[in-house]
Amino acid sequence: MKTSHLILAYGTADLVSAAALTRRLDNGLGLTPSMGWSGWNVAQCNSASEKYALETANAFVSLGLKDLGYQYINIDDCWTVKSGRDANGNLVPDPNKWPRGIKAVADEIHGLGLKFGLYGCAGKLTCAGYPGSEGHEQQDARSLASWDVDFWKYDNCYTPCKTGGDDVQVCSSPDPSTKVWYGAMRDALLDVKTTHDILFNMCSWGVEQVWQWGKTYGNSWRIDNDNWQDWASVQRIGSKAAGISQYSAPGGFNDLDMLIVGNGVLTEPQERLHFGLWAIAKSPLILGTDMTKIPSSTLAIVSNKGIIDINQDSLGVAATTFQPPGAPAPVSGQIYTYWAGPLSDGVAVGLTSVGSAKTVSVNFADVPGLGKGSWTWKEMYSGKTGTGESVSFDLAEDDMAVLKVTSASK
Ligand code: GAL
C-alpha cells in the first residue's frame, strides 16, 4: 500500500503513526530470541543495582549459562533517581545503586563476554513512577549509546491516553496509538551513533495487537500482561501464544515475558513445561530468578541444550498447537496438549499434561511437518531417543515432553 493510501486509510488524526509505518526496523538484531536475565522478578525495584548485575554476570559464567547462549544482563525499572532528570534533562543513575555509574558496569559485563540491558518507559513516568522518556527519546538514546548499553526494554505506562491524559498508569485506549511512541524511540535508537547495537524490546503488554505490526518497530514485543509469579499466568500467556505464533520470525519475536522458574512458585514439572513451552514458542528466554541462589533442579532445566537449540534454531518459526484426530479441541485460556513447529533440520514437538498425570501419545503422521512412516526422535528432558511411527510418554501433572523429530535416515 502506498503511503498516501495509508494516510487516507488511517485518517488525518493518525498521520504520525501512518508515517511511522513506512519505516521498517532494520537493525540486523534479534535473529533468534534473546537469552539472558532480568532483575524484575527477583526483587522488583531492589534488584536494579550494580550488585545484582555483576553477581548475575559472574554467575552466568560460573554456572555455564554463558556458554549455553545466555548473554543479556537486563536491569528493569527503578535504576534512576526517582525525583527527576538532571539540569540538562538527562536520566540520572541512582548513585546508591550505581556508585560507579552505568558505563563502568557495562564495561565489566562486556569484559566477561556478556551484554548489558536497561529499562525505560514511553510515558511521562515508568510504571514504578520514575522518570519516563516521553519527549526525551533522542536524549535517552544518546545516554544509552554513551554507556554502551546493548538492550532497551521500553514500557508503556503513563503514555498519552484518551481517558485521563498522560496521568493514567495503564491505558487501554492510547491517544492516538502506541505506534507513535514506540516509533519515536525506535527511530532515536536507529539514529544514534553507537559502538554497541541496541536490541529494542517493546513492553506494551499486547495492546493494539502489537504482534501484527511489532516487527517494524522492535525486535520483540510482549504479547500479554505480566507473568505474575503463579501458574495461572504461565497458562494465560502460554495458551495465548498458540494463536499468534505466525507473527514471530527472525528479527522480531512474540515475547511471552520473563520466566518465573527458580522462585519456588511452580512445581518441578511446571518449571519443565514453562521453560519448554516458552522455548518452542520462540519467546526470549529471560531468567527471572536470583542466580546466586538458583535451585539445582531449575538450573538443570534452563541448561537443557537440546531445548535451547530448538529455541535458537535459525528458522525462527514458533511452534503452535495441532489437533490429532479424535483429540479434544483446544480450550481458550488452557495450555493445549499438542504442539509442533518446524526447525531448520526437523520438527519440534511438545506434549503437555496440564491438570493431571497422564500418558500422552502421538502418531507422527498427525504432526504438521511430518507424515506417514518412521521418524527418529529425541526427548530433551529425559534424553530418551527412538525411531518409529509414534511416541508415548507418561507425564506427571503439568509436565511436558519436548522432542526434536528428524527423518529416520538422519
Ligand atoms: C510492567 C512490566 C514489567 C516490569 C514493570 C516495572 O509494566 O510489564 O515487566 O517491567 O512494569 O515497573
pLDDT in tens, 18-34: 444 444 478 899 999 99
- d(CA 275, CA 89) in angstroms, rounded, equals 41
Active site residues: 155, 226
Distance between Cα 380 and ligand 1 center (Å): 32
Beta strands in 274-337 (DSSP E): 285-287, 320-321
Q: Is the peptide bond before 324 cis (omega within 30 degrees of 0)?
A: no
Cβ of 25 below 6 Å from ligand 1: no
Other residues' Cβ atoms within 10 Å of the Cβ of residue 24: 11
| Number of alpha carbons in the 13 Å side-chain half-sphere of residue 192 | 25
User: 137 to each of 91, 140, 185, 262, 368, how far by Cα in Å?
Assistant: 11, 5, 5, 35, 44
Cβ of 309 below 6 Å from ligand 1: no
| Number of alpha carbons in the 13 Å side-chain half-sphere of residue 220 | 28
Pocket test for ligand 1, best of 203, 222, 224 (most atoms within 8 A of CB): 203
Cβ of 224 below 6 Å from ligand 1: no
Cβ of 128 below 6 Å from ligand 1: yes
Query: Whose C-alpha lies nearest to ligand 1, atom 9?
Result: 226
Pocket test for ligand 1, best of 41, 155, 204, 283 (most atoms within 8 A of CB): 155
- d(CA 186, CA 154) in angstroms, rounded, equals 10
User: 300 to each of 43, 317, 382, how far by Cα in Å?
Assistant: 23, 25, 12
- Residues sharing a CB contact under 8 Å with residue 349, sequence separation 6 or more, in sequence order: 339, 340, 362, 367, 377, 402, 403, 404, 405
Cβ of 127 below 6 Å from ligand 1: yes
CA distance between the termini of the chain: 44
Which amino acid makes up residue 368?
P
Ligand 1, residue 128: give the atom nearest the CA: 12
Cβ of 203 below 6 Å from ligand 1: yes
pTM of the model: 0.94
Radius of gyration of the chain (CA): 22
> Could you read off the pLDDT tens digit of each residue along the chain, which spans 410 residues?
223 333 333 333 333 444 444 444 788 999 999 999 999 999 999 999 999 999 999 999 999 999 999 999 999 999 999 999 999 999 999 999 999 999 999 999 999 999 999 999 999 999 999 999 999 999 999 999 999 999 999 999 999 999 999 999 999 999 999 999 999 999 999 999 888 899 999 999 999 999 999 999 999 999 999 999 999 999 999 999 999 999 999 999 999 999 999 999 999 999 999 999 999 999 999 999 999 999 999 999 999 999 999 999 999 999 999 999 999 999 999 999 999 999 999 999 999 999 999 999 999 999 999 999 999 999 999 999 999 999 999 999 999 999 999 997 54
